[in-house]
Structure formats: C-alpha cells, structure tokens
C-alpha cells in the first residue's frame, strides 16, 4: 500500500457531515453489484459498512480494477464523499446517507469464495464456522460481541483499579491438586517423570498474595479444567479473579454489585437496582429446587408433605414416612395442556430421577386427576389451596428423596417456563445465594467432599460442628446468579492452619498427603495470615448472557468444540516420538 492510500477514515464513521471530503478507506468487499455502467461495492471494516461507487471515464483505471473485484477481496481506495440522491438513502445503515465515489483503487489481496456468507444470522453448521473461525469472526455480530467483551474487561480493570486493587499474574504451570475437576497435566522435560498442572483457578496463589500483604489482588486469567463440556463450559476459560484481606462477605458482595451496575449501564444501558436479592442456599432449594435459580418467573415449588403424610395415597404417604418429600408446582392457566405434553413432561422429569409425575387438572368441569380418588375431599381441597390452585390451572407433583424432588421439579420448572413462554429475554434478574453447605457426602466414594473448594471457611458459629456434625456446617460462601446461571462464586477463606488441617482431615486427606499437596500453603498460614476472601466471575458466561447468546462458544474468539477439540488447528494432535522421548513419556494406546 502506498502512502497516498493510507487509511484516513474507517468505513463506519462516515456521515453526511463528511460530504465533499476526500477519504482513503481500507477494508473487505461485502458485496459487489454491477449496474451496467456503474459498479457498487459495499466496503466493510470493523467499524461498519459504506457504499463505494466506481464509474468509467475520468477514473477508468479504478473502474476496470473494480470489474474484477469479488466478495472478501481486500481493498484500499481513495474517493470523494457525496450525499446519496434522494430516494436512494438507506435508513437501516449508519452510513446510509452518503456514498464514496472512488478515484483510485488498489487490490491488496484476493480471496477464494468463502464457505459461508460473511453476514449476520448465517445458517451454517457450527463445525464449519469453527473450522473457518477467522472468517466467522469477520461477521459484524461476532465482532460486536468481542468489542463488548473488551469493554467489559476494561470496565472491570478500571473499577478495581479505582478501589486500590493490584493486577498480579500467577503461574500457569503449577502443582496438581487432588480436589475439584480433573487437571490438565504438562510433563516436565528437566524433571523426568514429573508433571505440572495447568491451574483450575489461581486459588492458592491469590491466598498466598494475601499472606504476602498485597491486601487487594485481581487478575483476568485463563483457567483450565479437564471435564465434560456443555453449552456453557469450555476446557479453557477466562475469569475475573479477586481477593481482599480483612473482608467480610457483605464487603465483597456490595462491591461486586456496584461493578455489575457499571457493566450493565455502560454496555447495555440497563440500570440494575440495588441491593440485589439474596437467598440462602436452603431457601433457594426449597423454593426453586436449584442453587442457581432463574427468578425471572414464579412457578415456585410448594411442599405438601405434611398434608399427604397421613393420607390414603400410599405412594405419597410412604415417601414422607421414609424421610422423603412431596412437592408441587402450579402451572397457572395450563389446564388445557394435552395429555401428550403431560407425558412428555413426565419423561422429562424422569431424566432427573423422578419415578413419576403426578398431576391434578383444575378444569371448568371439575377436578381431573389419576390421583384424586386416593385423596379425601378435604385433603384434595387442602392440597389445591396450598398451591393456590384455581380453575384453569394444572398442578404437578413429585414424591421422592429431597434431592431428587429438587432436581426433578427444579428442571421441570424451567421447562414449563419455556413451554408456557414465561421468560422475558429482555429482563436480567440477579440473586445472591448464600450459606451453602460446607460439605456434601459422596455416596460413591463414601466420603465428604467440599461443596465449593477445601479452602472455604465455615460460619463462625458452625466451627464446633467440624468435629460433630459435618452435614450441617454452613460455609461463608456466596454465588451470584443471573437468569439461572451462576456467573460468580466466592467465599471467605480459611486463614488458620489448624482449621485448614481439620478440613483436609474431614475430606479424607491423610496428613502426609495434605502436606505433600498443600504443605507450602499450610506453612504460610504460620506467618501471620490475615482474614481474607474473594470471588471469581466467569467472564465467558457473563458475555454469553450480556450478548443474549445460547452458547458460550459464540463469545470466545477461538473456542473448542464439545469434544474439547479445535477443528481449525486440528488440536489436540499427535506429537513426534522425539518429543515424547525428550519428555520421558510413553504412550500405551494403539495408533489408529
């Protein structure tokens, strides 16, 4: 490109006030149209699109070059900005009041015919988009998403900097941890037979920074987890990670609320009302069947165990007598739901462990239900009243162990909301979920495991229960939930060695193993560790919700597929025998 054609303006910034100016533009051909004597080219760059006109005669050289231009060619051109003739203006285009009459043209690079149109809303298989991700990212909606992502991270950095936080990097090559998800391991060449792990989070290092007296730390950091994927998970992901010394849960929560206000105001023009709603873990599970409830709609779970415990309906009564629960949901105004849909919902609830889905239809003709005959008239009326049932409603019930009831009805609640069109996609509803159980019992491994992670502090008043009643210990933990997705989770941490050792012991870690895995942290706790706590936000998940995407892959520049592979670069891939030998690694699987 010669100096005379060096870009002076971007395509999207030109408006009627630029009329009469000579400009130099660069970009890609979105579309070329030959109107017999005039050639129109829509030129696109990251800022937008502008119409360029090539005409023969005085600028014959540019016109002849334009005859050979095709979609996605890269151009540099010079031209004069003119107002579009009346009747030809495009109100749907930011630059629709003007066009550029080209005087010079350079073709900087040609392009093959792309495998899909470079336009928003393209209907093409996702694997094709991922294989040609560099083309997919040219589409305006993808570029706008990444631009918004940049703005969000800049808001986060500025917000925390203003509050005295320091951005400090932590290691990418670290020690493998036995708790949490499966680690990605990296073999060491200089230490044969030994491995680093890629961090699942900077948890231990940020705690060590508090020991070091940094007091306020943050980092926008890559993390890695070798786990099965789904629409809102990736093997490598980005989180905002932060930690504060001398902090209580409300200090961190109120600060993060302010940050969310800034993010939503400056990126979406949405005002988030403070303070945000708070639910304890127990309240969330009782009312919504989930510790990440979507509170944009009602459909709350209602417990009828006390009503049916002494009823003649043995299915319900026996469950209650064995320590289970019977809960219901009122699908308001859905009494005309076809039996086929009820059967579909029954199968859906079965996915989450429900052995059946009882129902009562409150039709204009009266009560219709396979279970009504097993309930006395008084019991039936009491059940309907408890669920605030009215003519036109249908009531659904699950009877089972509390966890199965919560899981089945919690998911059924979301499915009903989708089917009944109860979810307003323009609404953002935040809720803090607090007081999580510190531990949960793993039936397969027959041991206690940490609900969040093993460095979470118990509530002060529950400390004595470490020795007597682990099931009822509440954690100083808090999650921020948005529209049914956990976008951030944190806690106050254990900062005393003796408490951390008790925690490891409860988790079944022998002292020798805890010393081997975490000895450096335990030793650090002996050198004057301040009380501290923090939180981590999933940046990818936040962006998925902000941009109203259904898939986290759409907000990451170069994501992996659900099989944790990169179809563009063909990763993962085999490596040479020489590389394996250098790393002292031997592969024991047969080559394909």
Range of the domain at 401: 297-423
Percent of the chain exceeding pLDDT 70 equals 98
Residue 357 is assigned to a structural domain of this protein: yes
* Mean pLDDT in residue range 498-511: 93
**Residue 445: per-residue pLDDT:** 84
Residue 536 is assigned to a structural domain of this protein: no
Cis peptide bond upstream of 376, omega within 30: no
Report whether pLDDT(1) > 50. no
Q: Strand 98-109 relative to strand 74-83: parallel, antiparallel, unpaired?
A: antiparallel
Q: Which residue, 423, 457, 492, sits at the end of a domain?
A: 423
Q: Quick one: which of 477, 494, 483 has its CA closest to 536?
A: 477
Confidence tier at 444 by pLDDT (50, 70, 90): confident
CATH of the domain at 337: 3.30.1360.30
Backbone angles phi, psi at 155, to 5 degrees: -60, -45
Query: Which strand (E) or helix (H) includes residue 346?
Result: helix 339-351
Take residue 146 and report the two structure tokens written for it: 């990444």
Q: Which residue, 399, 423, 447, sits at the end of a domain?
A: 423
Residue 390 is assigned to a structural domain of this protein: yes
Report whether pLDDT(402) > 50. yes
* Mean pLDDT in residue range 490-495: 98
Confidence tier at 333 by pLDDT (50, 70, 90): very high
Confidence tier at 591 by pLDDT (50, 70, 90): low
Residue 225 is assigned to a structural domain of this protein: no
Backbone angles phi, psi at 133, to 5 degrees: -60, -35
Helix/strand/coil (H/E/C) assignment for every residue in 212-259: CCCCEEEEEEEEECCCCCCCCCCCEEEEEEEEEECCCHHHHHHHHHHH
Residue 21 is assigned to a structural domain of this protein: yes
Residue 232 is assigned to a structural domain of this protein: no
Distance of CA 508 to CAs 346, 498, 512, Å?
39, 16, 11
Mean pLDDT of the chain: 95
Give per-residue pLDDT as tens, 240-287: 999 999 999 999 999 999 999 999 999 999 999 999 999 999 999 999
Residue 333 is assigned to a structural domain of this protein: yes
Looking at per-residue confidence, does 15 or 180 come out higher?
15
Report whether pLDDT(231) > 70. no
Q: Which residue, 359, 390, 423, sits at the end of a domain?
A: 423
Q: How many Å separate Cα 154 from the centre of its chain? A: 19
Number of structural domains the chain divides into: 2
The set of residues, in sequence order, having a beta carbon less than 8 Å from that of 183 and lying 6+ positions away, is: 176, 177, 197, 198, 200, 224, 226
Give per-residue pLDDT as tens, 564-573: 999 999 999 9
Report whether pLDDT(520) > 60. yes
Give per-residue pLDDT as tens, 40-91: 999 999 999 999 999 999 899 999 999 999 999 999 999 999 999 999 999 9
Percent of the chain exceeding pLDDT 90 equals 91
Contact 54, 104 (CB under 8 A): no
Give per-residue pLDDT as tens, 537-561: 999 999 999 999 989 999 999 999 9
**Residue 443: per-residue pLDDT:** 86
Q: How many CA atoms lie within 13 A of 527 on its CB side?
A: 12
Residue 91 is assigned to a structural domain of this protein: yes
Give per-residue pLDDT as tens, 174-229: 999 766 678 999 999 999 999 999 999 999 999 999 999 999 999 999 999 998 76
CATH of the domain at 100: 2.40.50.140
For the four alpha carbons of 510, 514, 516 and 519, in that order, the dihedral sign comes to negative
Take residue 502 and report the two structure tokens written for it: 């008790």
**Residue 589: per-residue pLDDT:** 81
Contact 81, 20 (CB under 8 A): yes
């Amino acid at each position: 490109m010669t100096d005379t054609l060096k870009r002076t303006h971007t395509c999207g910034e030109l408006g009627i006030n630029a009329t009469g100016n000579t400009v130099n533009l660069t970009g890609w051909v979105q579309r070329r149209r030959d109107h017999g004597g005039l050639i129109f080219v829509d030129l696109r760059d990251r800022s937008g699109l502008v119409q360029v006109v090539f005409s023969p005669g005085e600028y014959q050289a540019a016109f002849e070059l334009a005859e050979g231009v095709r979609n996605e060619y890269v151009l540099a051109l010079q031209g004069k900005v003119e107002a579009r003739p009346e009747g030809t203006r495009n109100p749907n285009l930011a630059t629709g009041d003007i066009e550029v009459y080209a005087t010079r043209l350079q073709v900087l690079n040609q392009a093959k015919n792309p495998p899909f149109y470079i336009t928003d809303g393209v209907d093409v298989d996702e694997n094709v988009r991922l294989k040609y991700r560099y083309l997919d990212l040219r589409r305006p909606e993808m570029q706008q998403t990444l631009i918004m992502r940049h703005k969000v991270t800049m808001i986060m950095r500025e917000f925390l900097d203003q509050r005295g936080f320091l951005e400090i990097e932590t290691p990418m090559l670290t020690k493998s941890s036995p708790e949490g998800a499966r680690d990605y391991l990296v073999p060491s060449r200089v230490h044969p037979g030994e491995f680093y792990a890629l961090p699942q989070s900077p948890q231990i290092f940020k705690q060590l920074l508090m020991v070091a007296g940094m007091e306020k730390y943050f980092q926008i950091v890559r993390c890695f987890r070798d786990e099965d994927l789904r629409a809102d998970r990736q093997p490598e992901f980005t989180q905002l990670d932060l930690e504060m010394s001398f902090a209580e849960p409300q200090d961190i929560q109120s600060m993060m609320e302010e940050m969310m206000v800034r993010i939503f105001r400056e990126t979406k023009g949405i005002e988030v009302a403070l303070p945000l709603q708070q639910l304890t873990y127990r309240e969330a599970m009782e009312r919504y069947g989930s510790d990440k409830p979507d509170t944009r709609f009602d459909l709350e779970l209602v417990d009828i165990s006390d009503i049916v415990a002494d009823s003649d309906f043995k299915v319900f009564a026996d469950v209650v007598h064995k320590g289970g629960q019977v809960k219901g949901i009122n699908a308001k105004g859905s009494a005309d739901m076809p039996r086929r849909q009820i059967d579909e919902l029954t199968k859906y609830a079965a996915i989450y462990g429900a052995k059946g889905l009882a129902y009562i239809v409150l039709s204009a003709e009266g009560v219709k239900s396979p279970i009504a005959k097993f309930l006395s008239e008084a019991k039936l009326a009491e059940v309907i009243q408890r669920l605030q049932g009215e003519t036109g409603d249908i009531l659904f019930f699950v009877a089972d162990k509390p966890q199965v009831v919560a899981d089945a009805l919690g998911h059924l609640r979301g499915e009903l909301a989708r089917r009944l069109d109860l979810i307003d996609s323009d609404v953002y509803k935040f809720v803090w979920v607090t007081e999580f159980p510190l531990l949960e019992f793993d039936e397969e491994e027959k041991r206690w495991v940490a609900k969040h992670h093993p460095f979470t502090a118990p509530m002060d008043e529950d400390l004595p229960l470490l020795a007597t009643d682990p099931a009822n210990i509440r954690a100083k933990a808090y999650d921020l939930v948005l529209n049914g997705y956990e976008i951030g989770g944190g806690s106050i941490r254990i900062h005393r060695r003796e408490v951390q050792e008790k925690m490891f012991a409860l988790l079944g870690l022998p002292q020798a193993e805890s010393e081997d895995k975490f000895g450096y942290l335990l030793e650090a706790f002996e050198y004057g560790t301040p009380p501290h706590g923090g939180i981590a936000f999933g940046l990818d998940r936040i962006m998925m919700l902000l941009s109203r995407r259904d898939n986290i892959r759409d907000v990451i520049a170069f994501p992996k597929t659900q099989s944790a592979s990169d179809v563009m670069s063909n990763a993962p891939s085999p490596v040479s025998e020489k590389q394996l030998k250098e790393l002292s690694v031997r592969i024991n699987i047969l080559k394909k």
